[in-house]
Amino acid sequence: MAKWLCAAVTILLMFSVVGAWAAEMEGKIQTFDTSDRTMVLDNGMRVIVADGVAIEGLREGSEVKVTFEERDGRNVATVVEVK
């Protein structure tokens, strides 16, 4: 029983650490470059939109909610919702 409990706790801890790396931000797009899929929000935060994430409807002035994670020191958006 103790081995099973220890294994379950270990698995739960692994998932909680991975989930902690994602973050959300809301703001207005100040600039958006479709060629390199990079946007800058009104707070100065630069975000790269990951491949596979739709960029249709993203343009300067759009209010967005961005779910992102840090990859190689860069903020990479995994979900972008236009508000």
Residue ranges covered by each domain of the chain: 23-82
When pLDDT is cut at 50, 70 and 90, the band that residue 21 belongs to is confident
Strand pairing class (46-49; 63-71) = unpaired
Q: What are phi and psi for residue 71, nearest 5 degrees?
A: -130, 120
Residue 41 clears pLDDT 90, i.e. is over it? yes
Q: What are phi and psi of 6, to 5 degrees?
A: -65, -40
Beta bridge partners of 65: 26, 81
pLDDT at 19: 47
Nearest CA to 44 out of 79, 9, 75 is that of 75
Q: What letter would DSSP give residue 51?
A: T
Q: Which DSSP helix (H) or strand (E) runs through 71?
A: strand 63-71
pTM: 0.72
Q: Could you say which architecture CATH assigns to the domain 23-82?
A: Beta Barrel (2.40)
